[in-house]
């Protein structure tokens, strides 16, 4: 998470492992603006980034995401929906999500706006 192209979208600073846990673990079970759009009990959320910049621009993001959805996310019992929420300015990640079938839901407001996108299991 500490390479410049990742820091740009994930927190704007370098994180220690303890800081990552402190920031993201509480979000796993917390209610959020997402609850207005998806069933929390049947949904998974994910973030994707490629840490090594030499692998950027090779089309790996959509391939990795597609395989991860098919082999991990939608293999979990009861999971029928996957949600992603890139920054509205992260057009590269929005395009990767669209390539694997995510559809736009809404853009949240607040200190860190999010471009909410959803993919249903049956669309895989």
pLDDT tens digits, 66-99: 998 999 899 988 999 998 988 898 898 899 999 9
Domain boundaries, the chain: 33-123
- Pick 33-123's CATH classification: 3.40.630.30, 3.40.50.1820, 3.40.50.880, 3.30.420.250: 3.40.630.30
**Closest C-alpha among 40, 2, 54 to residue 11:** 2
User: At 61, is the pLDDT very low, low, confident or very high (cuts 50, 70, 90)?
Assistant: confident
Between vectors from CA 124 to CA 121 and to CA 122, what angle results, nearest 5°?
40
């Amino acid at each position: 998470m500490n390479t410049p192209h990742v820091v740009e979208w994930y927190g704007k600073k370098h994180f220690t492992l303890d800081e990552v846990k402190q920031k993201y673990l509480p979000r796993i079970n917390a209610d959020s603006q997402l609850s207005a759009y998806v069933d929390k009990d049947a949904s998974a959320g994910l973030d994707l980034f490629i840490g090594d910049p030499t692998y950027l621009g090779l089309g790996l993001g959509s391939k990795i995401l597609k395989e991860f959805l098919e082999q991990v996310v939608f293999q979990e019992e009861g999971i029928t929906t996957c949600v992603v929420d890139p920054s509205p300015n992260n057009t590269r990640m929005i395009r990767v999500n669209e390539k694997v079938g995510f559809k736009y839901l809404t853009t949240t407001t607040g200190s860190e706006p999010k471009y909410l996108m959803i993919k249903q299991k049956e669309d895989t």
